[in-house]
Amino acid sequence: MIGPGYQWLAHLRRSPLLLFVLLYTALSGGPFLWVAVMSLRTTPEIFASPYALPSHLHWEKFADAWTRSNYSTYFWNSTIVVVTAVVLLTVIGAMVAHCLARYHFRGNRVARFVILSGLILPPQLLILSLFQILLEFSLYNTLTGLILVYVAGHLAMTVYILEGFFAQIPQDLFDAARLDGYSDLEIFWRITLPIGAPALFTTVTLNFIILWNEFLYAVVLLTEDDKRTLPLGIMHFMGSHQLDIGMLATGLMIAIAPIILLYGFFSETMIKGMTAGAVR
Amino acid sequence: MGEVALNGLSKRYPGGSDLAVKEVTLTVADGEFMVLLGPSGCGKSSVLRMIAGLEPITAGTVSIDGKVINKVPAKDRDIAMVFQSYALYPHMDVFNNLAFGLRRRSVPRGEIERRVNATAAKLGLAPFLKRKPHALSGGQRQRVALGRAIVREPKVFLFDEPLSNLDAALRVTTRNELIRQQYDIGITTIYVTHDQVEAMTMGHRICIMDKGEVVQIGPPLAVYRDPVNTFVARFLGNPPMNLMRVALETDVGGLRLRLGKTAVPAEPWPADRLGTLGSGALLGIRPEDLYEASPRPGDDSVLPLPATVAAVEPLGAETLLVLTLDGIEEEVIARSGRETRLRPGERATIMLDSAAAQLFDATTKRAIARTPV
């Protein structure tokens, strides 16, 4: 047993870990704080002294970005695209994962391989063919086209996470529900989804964050200004000869606000969902 | 009504070359408590799952009240099952776990509440209705699982080793609880276990299975007393029945079974059947039919056997003696009173009650029936 006199020794032993955590926090949180500070300063102020704290808080920049730079349209477009894609991904992904985890049908392994092979394909590889396909189906430069691309591109990861979790739900629960009189679809709805909620929250949060920030597909598949999503809108503040860094920082803060809110609400559930496989 | 009849029921799992269940035929009468007993992997749970509709049937039929239900989906069979893992829905509280099956059957809300509350009261679950399964003890979870089956008022109850996750003390009380509930409710019950104590104490009849086949069906004591083969003889009873090789010999008194230095009378068994035993026979004797005490005067069926005590195992209520009989290689186990003074290495004379002995064909391992008296 360590006496009170030796507690400093225990603290000393933990200090390298503490140092590492502080360093990591500074590295990851520092740039974020810098952008947050810059979002409240004007571009001349920033160029004069890049790392200074704001002498005056320019909250009006947020209203400017929202109204004068078409940000409301970009925000609305992003919301439509990402919410629809995440809903579709969750519903389709959960159904696919439930089938792969629960039913032993002919071709089960081939189906799993084909779906999960999407994990290993880099988006740069697919973008040309996707561009061509969307053109042929008149979906190029439409939000619907981008939604479909997002759903197709992220289904593999969604199924991968959900299947791992669903496979751990004991078969007896499904058998009990069958004997209680429920059909396969009802069992999916009433047993798999509620029990798999932590994993569903994980995929919803992850997909939302990734798709909200997605740039590559959006920049290739959308060209009209009123169809653009937020990551493209931010580009407005970056001209070929000048950079409005103050407004860029303000735009970035608007763009990441929903992500921070989402993560704040669901981070605990998300971590639970991602580590569920490790603790069993 | 809930008579369950299995006719030639067989099961082959995908990728398996052998049948996991081989032509099982048995009838469980309405209100009967039938126990399927056997070692792990003998196919008893597969039989149960085929009755429930959770496993496709390879061959044969399952009927309830004379109606073949092979093609009827599990949800429409009106069967309730209690699983080894309890299979309680973790996201629902006790009330909803009990009510889940009733809701699907469109039972009116008031009736659901009445039945759930009545079942909870019967099983002592009333104070826990708002708790989730993770906040219950093992025994309480087991009772919720039982309650979920009872509240449905099905035609047939199926139990798949429901007590094996409980500790020894709780298992005894829950076992008695189950017996009482089944007696009160009177619903046809099929209970799978590998625990012979559960089988002996709970079932109206026991169906013993081995390697996918039914070996013997009968009331517990009848099966215990008259096992059809050495598998049943060894599987039922703890310690199991002693099996000792005996040779047939003829002397002036007639046919005898030579057991070491002792000659056991062979009159109880038909002489013509004994004559067909080419490679000899196995004499089976339960540990309680080997004892230390002297026989009552005139009790001719009790034979003294000279032996050496190899080990003494006091169990509290009784003491087990591991013995080496003179002239016999196999060790045998005898039950003795707790006050025995015998110690390892000592010589003893052990009494064998030949009236309780069984004889088995050493080749087929099947029992040789006694001559009807």
Which CATH number goes with the domain that contains A242?
A: 1.10.3720.10
**Residue B359 in contact with residue B367, Cβ under 8 Å?**
yes
pLDDT for A278: 39
% residues pLDDT > 90 (chain A) = 46
Q: Are residues A165 and A256 in the same domain?
A: yes
Total number of domains constituting chain A: 2
**A219, part of any domain:** yes
Q: Are residues A14 and A127 in the same domain?
A: no
pLDDT for B255: 79
% residues pLDDT > 70 (chain A) = 93
**Residue B207 in contact with residue B219, Cβ under 8 Å?**
no
pLDDT for A258: 86
pLDDT for A277: 44
Report CA-CA distances (Å) from B306 to B303, B314, B324. 10, 21, 9
Q: Are residues A128 and A179 in the same domain?
A: yes
Closest chain B CA to residue A170: B87
User: Mind listing the pLDDT tens digit for each residue in A187-216?
Assistant: 999 999 999 988 898 899 899 989 999 999
Q: Would the CB atoms of B90 and A195 count as touching at under 8 Å?
A: yes
Task: Please tell me the total number of residues recorded for chain B in this structure.
Answer: 373
Best of B82, B100, B141, B157 to substitute, by most chain A Cβ atoms within 10 angstroms, is B100
pLDDT for B1: 66
Peptide bond into B239 cis (omega under 30): yes
Domain range list for chain B? 4-235, 242-361
Neighbour order of strands in the sheet with B281-285: B262-265, B254-259, B242-251, B281-285, B358-361
Contacts of A2 (CB under 8 A, 6+ apart): A9, A10
Separation of alpha carbons A163 and A260, rounded Å: 27
**Residue A270 in contact with residue A206, Cβ under 8 Å?**
yes
User: Mind listing the pLDDT tens digit for each residue in A91-120?
Assistant: 999 999 999 999 888 888 899 999 888 888
Q: Which letter does DSSP use for residue B133 in this model?
A: G
Q: Are residues A192 and A121 in the same domain?
A: yes
Q: Residue A280: is its pLDDT beyond 60?
A: no
**B4-235 and B242-361: same fold?**
no
**Residue B35 in contact with residue B204, Cβ under 8 Å?**
no
- Nearest Cα of chain A lies from the Cα of B279 at a distance, in angstroms, of 49
Question: Which residue range(s) make up the domain with A259?
Answer: 69-279
Minimum-distance CB partner of A179 among B81, B90, B91: B81
Question: Of B36, B34, B24, nearest to B2 (Cα)?
Answer: B34
Question: Of A12, A70, A17, nearest to A229 (Cα)?
Answer: A70
Q: What is the rounded average pLDDT for all residues in chain A?
A: 87
Q: Are residues A224 and A130 in the same domain?
A: yes
Closest chain B CA to residue A194: B91
For residue A179, the chain B residues in CB contact (below 8 A) are 52-54, 74-75, 77, 79-81, 101
Q: Are residues A83 and A199 in the same domain?
A: yes
Handedness of CA B110, B112, B118, B124 (dihedral sign): negative
Q: Are residues A179 and A102 in the same domain?
A: yes
Separation of alpha carbons A225 and B182, rounded Å: 73
Minimum-distance CB partner of B101 among A170, A175, A181: A181
pLDDT for A198: 86
Q: What does CATH list as the number for B242-361?
A: 2.40.50.140
Minimum-distance CB partner of A179 among B79, B84, B90: B79
Q: Are residues A34 and A143 in the same domain?
A: no
Q: Are residues A274 and A137 in the same domain?
A: yes
User: Mind listing the pLDDT tens digit for each residue in B80-91?
Assistant: 999 988 999 999
**Residue B334 DSSP SS3:** strand
Report CA-CA distances (Å) from A97 to A53, A155, A187, A195, B103. 49, 10, 14, 14, 27
φ, ψ (nearest 5 deg) of residue B97:
-60, -40
Q: Would the CB atoms of B54 and A175 count as touching at under 8 Å?
A: yes
CB atoms within 10 A of CB A230: 27
ipTM, two decimals, is 0.82
Separation of alpha carbons B125 and B128, rounded Å: 5
Report CA-CA distances (Å) from A53 to A100, A106, B10, B15. 54, 64, 80, 71
Give pTM, 2 decimals: 0.80
Q: Would the CB atoms of B89 and A176 count as touching at under 8 Å?
A: yes
Minimum-distance CB partner of B91 among A176, A177, A194: A194
Range scoring the smallest mean pLDDT among A118-122, A137-141, A159-163: A118-122
Residues of chain B with confidence (pLDDT) below 70: 1, 253, 278-279, 293-299, 373
pLDDT for A279: 33
**A49, part of any domain:** no
φ, ψ (nearest 5 deg) of residue A68:
-85, -20
A181 to chain B, any CB pair closer than 8 A? The answer is yes
Neighbour order of strands in the sheet with B79-82: B79-82, B156-160, B188-193, B33-37, B205-210, B213-218
Minimum-distance CB partner of A195 among B80, B91, B104: B91
Give residue for tokens 């561009």.
A131
Q: Which residues pair with B306 in a beta bridge?
A: B349
Contacts of B236 (CB under 8 A, 6+ apart): B37, B196, B199, B200, B208, B223, B224, B227
Q: Are residues A29 and A102 in the same domain?
A: no
pLDDT for B296: 62
**A59, part of any domain:** no
- The CATH H-level superfamily of B4-235 is P-loop containing nucleotide triphosphate hydrolases (3.40.50.300)
Q: Residue A276: is its pLDDT beyond 60?
A: no
Q: Residue A2: is its pLDDT beyond 60?
A: no
A178 to chain B, any CB pair closer than 8 A? The answer is yes
Q: Are residues A186 and A275 in the same domain?
A: yes
Q: Are residues A143 and A28 in the same domain?
A: no
**A184, part of any domain:** yes
